Each structure stands twice: as structure tokens, then as C-alpha cells.
Structure 1
Amino acid sequence: MSSIYDFNILAAPLHCAQIDLSPYARWSPNGITVSGGHGQGSELSQLNHPYGLYVDDNKIIYVADYENHRIVAWPPGATYGQVVAGGNGPGQGLHQLNKPTDVIIDHATESLLICDCLNRRVVRWPLRGGIRGEILLRDINCRGLTMDDCGFLYVSDVRKHEVRRWQVGKARGTVVAGGNGQGLRLNQLNFPTYLFVDRNYTIYVSDSCNHRVVKWIKGITEGIVVAGGHGQGENVNQMSHPQGVIVDEVDTVYVADSWNYRIMRWPRGATQGTVVAGGNDAGPQTNQLNLLEGLSFDRYGHLHVADMINHRLQRFELVST
């Protein structure tokens, strides 16, 4: 069996497509299962409540396999994954994870950065052949993480309702979103989960229990609602517990609208979104989703989403830019 590391790893994208997308781009309504899809379980062909995901330039997908306490890598076309972190049962050991919720790659150190949620820590794990991780951050109720092109790490904290920016190796982070208690005001968050940071260091936060996505421009103390914000609901100006969020080069926001079982697109300045995938009630069919988590483009503009209750990752292929 060949290793996934036979693939040449290139510079990390920011979960973003490397082609220009118009606000009218279209994706196939039917998803293709690219990871899992063989029922709930712990075999290497299975997932158990997948959460965050990361797609590298070679289309290798790294997924936080939440209930299996592991990170699994799936090369393109594979029928089973390879455990690259954890997989030794839940626990606090450096060889273990406990319900990981997000994962990215830091190519500068050739390592995985993981939200080890129930251990309340962020860990770094060698990308190649690692048998244990090292703790980067402790005592943090982490849910999502990302990194900017200067190497700063951003982590959401669902207990403190804030996002902090960390310089790896430093003891203290800087609050860059929220941090003013749980609430609905524009300087507050309510259970922030997934994050996206653009090339201008603007932070986009899935403010899950406020049913909105908020962007925080660097140095500004209040956010700007860019998706949702009209209460919980299924109308096109509403969302229900949004999760994964990504932004393209023209500031169009794409959101995994979890409890509405759909992926939404919100162009810059829009007061309502459009459905680009799902939205056909909860279910296991190729045009259906059932509670969404992580969301990512690959470099070709295909959308990848963690379809949590169906225990699979789905790819919706770009058909028109």
C-alpha cells in the first residue's frame, strides 16, 4: 500500500479556491462522497460524526473524526483513510485526542494543528509519521482554528465567546473578536465555532448561536454581520446554527447552514443568501445533507462539506464559474 505522503505537498491555501468565482457560480446539486459514507463506525472506511476538514493542494482531505478521537487523511479516490493523529481512544495522553473539532496544516513546520476539544487544548502533530503531539495552548475551550499567512494562529473559544490571535510559542493571545461576554451585540459573540481569515487579516466568525456570520476588520472593536442576523429560521435571510465558513477573493461568503441542511452563498452587501447545495430536507441522498460542520473549497473551486449525521464528507463539483 502506498503512503499518502507520496503526494507532493504544496503551499497551504486558506480553505479558498485558487480560481476566480463570480457571485453566480454554480455547483452540481448532487454531492460525491469522498470520505466515509459506509455508515457510522471506526473502520478506516468509516467516520463517526466528522467535524472540521482541510483540503490541501493535492486534494488530500484531512478530517477531524470527532467520535473516533482521530484525524484521518483521505487521498483522492481512496476508499479508506489513514490515521495521522490520535486513534488511540479518548484520553489526555500526548498520543491521544478527545473529540477533535478542527484541523489545519501548518506547512512552515509540516505539522497538523488540531482543536483537541474535550482536552481543552490545541496540539501540534507531525504531518509525517507522528506518534504523539505537543501542546501549543492549554485551558482553552477551542472549537475552530485557522492561520494567516504570517503564521499567527486564530482560535475560537466557545466558553469565553471570543476569538484570540496567538503567536505560536507565546503565552498570551490577543482578543480579536468578541470577548465581551455572551450576547447579541456587535461587540459580542454567542458560541463562535469556525473561522476564516482573509489576506487583509479580516476575521470571519460563525457566530453559531446568534445564527449569523460576523466579520471583524483588523483593529476594529465591533463586527459587521455579513450573513444571517435575522434570527433563527429557514428563510433566505436567515440561518440556523451556521458552522463552516469560507470567503472567496471577491468577499462572497459561503456558509454551512447546519440545521437547515444547506450551503448558502452571501455576496458582499447582500441582505439575503442563495442555496448552492442541499436545502432538500435532512437525508442521505446525494442532493441531501444532515447537520453540517466544516466547509472548504479545494484549489479547483469544488465545495467540500462535513455531512455529520450521515458520517461522510461530500464534494459538490463546480460546473460554472
Structure 2
Amino acid sequence: MQELIYGCMGLGGSWSDEPHGSDHVDEAAAAVDAALDAGITLFDHADIYRNGKSEAVFGEVLAARPGLRDRIRLQTKCGIRLSEPGIPGHYDLSRDAILERVNASLKRLRTDYVDILLLHRPDPLADPAEVAGAVGHLMAEGKVRQLGVSNMSAAQIEVLQDQLETPVVANQLEMSLLKRAWLESHVLVNHSEHLDYSFPHGTVEHCIRNGITLQAYGSLARGLYTGAEPDSPSSAETATSELVARLAADYGTSGEAVLLGWLMKHPAGIAPVIGTVNPGRIRACRDAGRVAQAMTRAEWYQLWVTARGSNIP
């Protein structure tokens, strides 16, 4: 099902070990309210976000609002360990790590289960059978209902799926009008420019074929086309900002809705993840589905060509 997702990475204050404060809980509550106003019911977390504080403040919001958990869906991620003194940051999808990190997330979120668990990054040392065993254990306990991945290629998903008894339901990737490698790889397969993009061609097609929802993080391009002021914007960025504003005026909506609608227009059924903590910007996304339906093919291509700064082949 095509939908908007609220990304909670910005909640909880700093990335330091300092505890969060009541103001951070209030900020999380305001973001949740704005997301619900925009029709969003899926909230995206990861165990590492703000050193666990993103989950913790969200858990406090849930605890203060009986009944809210039944109105929403939660997903979280595991698989990344942040650096510690003498230990570099690394990936860890071992059985013990998956079980440990999911249980810690549930405790911080103050819930008995997550609707979707995402494996955050491919771990070169991960044994797919061991990963499948850990996931199966969590599902048998009722702590995880569905499994997804993040930042994985089609081949990596296939190797994992061979060992799983449950289907992979989502793949979260960076996808936006700014970060277009997923799209450029589609049309540049027979051009030398293809080498400029590292995105593994065939991943989008694999997800479409297997009913895997593409979740797009960074979907608002960090505000680049809707008001953020870079130090030295390129001519393409300036032209794209102007085009987004014009289309927003034409549709009687926000620039945010235009950017998200552009993603959602794609037949893959992309589900954008919205990462801003600004309640106004969150609510500004509510028209994305309407814009996706109304946007013409010519407008869709005009946004793409303008953003890339040159014609497509």
C-alpha cells in the first residue's frame, strides 16, 4: 500500500550520551500529532537514532497516550553498532546482536512488538541462515510481525530470502529528486554515464516483481528545493526550486507535496519517509497522494530533467 512514513531520526535531541529532556518529549509529541494530521500512521525508527533517544522519547509519548499504539504501526532497524572508545563503528547482524538490539528497542519504545523490523545495512559477516533463525525466533515470540531491509541490492535480498520463512516486505533506500541514482541507473544502462552511479541496477525492478515496498528516505532532499539555503546553489538546483514552487502554486499545495508526489507517481509505489521535525513541514506533506494522481507525465519528466541539469539520453 502506497503511503507516507514519518521518520523519527530527528527526535530525541543530540547524538551524544546525554539524556533527553522533557522538551524533547514535547517535540516528539508535536511531530506525532502533525504526522497523524497528515494521515501518517507508520513511524520509522532505528536503534541507533540519537543513541537510542529517538525511540525513548517516542516511547514516552506512547506511554502518555493510552490507545495510540493501536492506531499506529512501528518499524525499527538493527544492524549498526556506533563507534565506542577503541572500537570503530561496524555492522552486526549476528543472532545475538539481533535479539539483543530488538529487545532493547522494544523496551525503549514501551511496546511488546514492532510491526516491521528492518535490517539496517548489509553485514559482510552475516550468515543468512543465522539471520533467518533470529528473525524466526522474534516472530515466534510475537515481537516482530514482518521483516524488511534497508540499503540492500536485489542480489543481497535474494540470498537472504532463500533462508527466510517470511517474505521481505520493504527495502528502505535513499530516493529523492536530488538523489536520483535509483532512477538514473534505469535509463543509463547503455551509456557511459552509467558508471557515474553506484546504484545496483535491477533492485527497483526486483522489489516491484516481489511486492517489496520501496521506502524512500531523504525524500524531501533535506529542504533543498523548498526553502533551505545552500551556500552556493547550482543553476539546476535554483531552477528546480523555482519549478517546484510554480507547480505547488498550480496545484494549490506545498512544495513538499510536489516533491513527494513526484516520487509516489512512479509505478513502483514508493513510500516516502519524511524526516523533518517541523510540524508545519510535516503537515505540508498531506497532499502528496493527490499531487501524485494529478501530476502529468510531462510535469514528472520536467522535474527530473530540471533537477539533473541536462536532458535525458
Structure-2-length-normalised TM-score = 0.32
Structure number with bigger Rg: 2
| Larger strand share, 1 or 2 | 1
TM-score by length of 1: 0.31
